[in-house]
Every structure is written in C-alpha cells, then in structure tokens.
Amino acid sequence: MSAGVRTAIGSTELLSVLQFQEEIRHVLRFRLQLPIENPLAAALQKIEQNPAFAQSRLLTRILGALTYQEGEFRRAEVTSLDAETFAMVIALIDAYAAETCTRAEWEAAVAAARAAELAAGF
C-alpha cells in the first residue's frame, strides 16, 4: 500500500513522529508527571528489564523515532501507554528537544534497545 493510500484510508489512524509528539503533548495536559533525571537511561533500563512487554516495544519504537525522526504510530498507541511510560516518553521528547544527550548516546540507546528485543525474540 502506498503512503498516499495509507494516509487516505487511515488519516485519523496513522500519525507521523511529529504528530505523535503533538498528540502526547495534548494528553499531557490531563496527567501529572514527576521529573525523570535521565530519561534516556531510564527508558533503556525499562526496555532491557522486559523487552517483550508491549510498553517496552513501543518505547523502543519511540526512541528510534526521536533519534532518526522517522516512523509512524497509531493514534491508539498514545493512550495505550501506562502512566510511568507516558511520563518517560514526555521526558524523552523534552530531552531530545533540549539536546541534553549527544547524538551518539541516542544512537547507542536505540541500538541497545533493539538488541534487547532481538535477544528476547522480537
């Protein structure tokens, strides 16, 4: 299916990386979040602890999307995040925007997260 057809069929269903971030920000207004000191390390730790968990797999995709500014998400994925993971995603988006981690750190985190998934059989 071409990108145009995918967009026409699921225009309200599929979100680009930027649209996904905007949707997360919209939902943020309704949730309380505590600050996360090092969101990149926290996300990687969560993924490595249980790479088969749906939240971890989504977190891996989000890390990749932020790092490489590519990918698509379903609108339903925004609301599928538990409170802890949601706060982590917001912290990751903020950290990426603030450039608090180097490009190499982001790339290493994505590589480690994907390796954890592969080791778990995903």
Q: Which structural domain range is residue 62 located in?
A: 14-119
Q: CA dist 110 to 74, 99, 106, 115, 117, Å? A: 20, 16, 6, 8, 11
| pLDDT band for position 29 (cuts 50, 70, 90) | low
Count the Cβ atoms, other than its own, within 10 Å of residue 55: 18
In a domain, 69, yes or no: yes
In a domain, 99, yes or no: yes
pLDDT on residue 113: 97
Structure tokens at 7: 């967009």
Of 68 and 27, the one with more pLDDT? 68
Phi–psi pair at 58, nearest 5 degrees: -65, -40
Number of domains in the chain: 1
pLDDT on residue 98: 93
| pLDDT band for position 31 (cuts 50, 70, 90) | low
pLDDT on residue 42: 95
Decide: helix, strand or coil at residue 73.
Answer: strand
36-88 pLDDT, tens per residue? Answer: 889 999 999 999 999 999 999 999 999 999 999 999 999 888 888 888 888 89
In a domain, 4, yes or no: no
In a domain, 9, yes or no: no
91-110 pLDDT, tens per residue? Answer: 999 999 999 999 999 999 99
Euclidean distance between CA atoms 111 and 59, whole angstroms: 13
